[in-house]
Amino acid sequence: MLVAASELMIERSSIEISLSDIAQKSGANAALVKYHFGNKDGLLLALLARDAATEMSNLEYLLAQPITSTAKLKLHIAGIIRAYHRFPYMNRLIHYLLHETSASSADEVSKFFVAPLLDFHRRLLAEGVSRGEFRPTDPVLFYTSLIGACDHLFFGRHAMSRATGVGPVTDDVCRQYIKHMETLICGGILTQAGEAAAAG
């Protein structure tokens, strides 16, 4: 059922799908969907939790790698952008569950997505500062900058396409954006030692 919901949202470029749509796509009946998830919001929350789980587990793995903090930062930037690209409905789903559903759904999203990501940023930035690679950087502002930029690439692309004829987010656009964000973020927080680590 989660696979069906994911595929429908990608096909339609929208999170506006019904339980009957999901039931038809998955071959299950709507009553079974309700039994497992309670309602559509419950299913959407489970889908986001599933998609976020892999990304969150990758954070701990990345932090433990014996590489420079600068290399970790670049891998993280690329990983976040690729996650948004792989699950193009993710940003809209996060906004919907944080702002348009129940307080309990918003709390769950904060617990399994926002809090772990912010904690990872705190630890990575602190490590980079202690190694002399990063300038002191506020983790909340860093989170806002990186996640906001990734979010807007996908959320704002629709508006740009209507206004200026900008095309969809393709693999090539994704690669270009990764390089752009690496340059933008690294240019702002790397010390000379961090720049040397990036160059080496």
Q: CA-CA distances (angstroms) from residue 111 to 27, 98, 159?
A: 32, 11, 30
Q: CA-CA distances (angstroms) from residue 131 to 34, 70, 182, 197?
A: 51, 10, 19, 11
Place of tokens 């948004």: 84
The SS3 of residue 50 is: helix
Residue-level pLDDT at 23: 81
pLDDT digits (tens, 9 = 90+) for 44-97: 888 888 888 877 888 989 999 999 999 999 999 999 888 888 887 787 888 888
Query: CA–CA separation, 82 vs 126, rounded Å?
Result: 24
Q: CA-CA distances (angstroms) from residue 78 to 33, 58, 96, 159?
A: 34, 12, 24, 24
- Fold of the domain spanning 44-199: Tetracycline Repressor; domain 2 (1.10.357)
pTM of the model: 0.82
Place of tokens 């987010």: 169
Strand partners, 134: 190
pLDDT digits (tens, 9 = 90+) for 98-144: 888 888 888 888 888 889 999 999 999 999 999 999 999 999 999 99
Phi, psi of 131 (to 5 degrees): -90, 0
Residue-level pLDDT at 31: 79
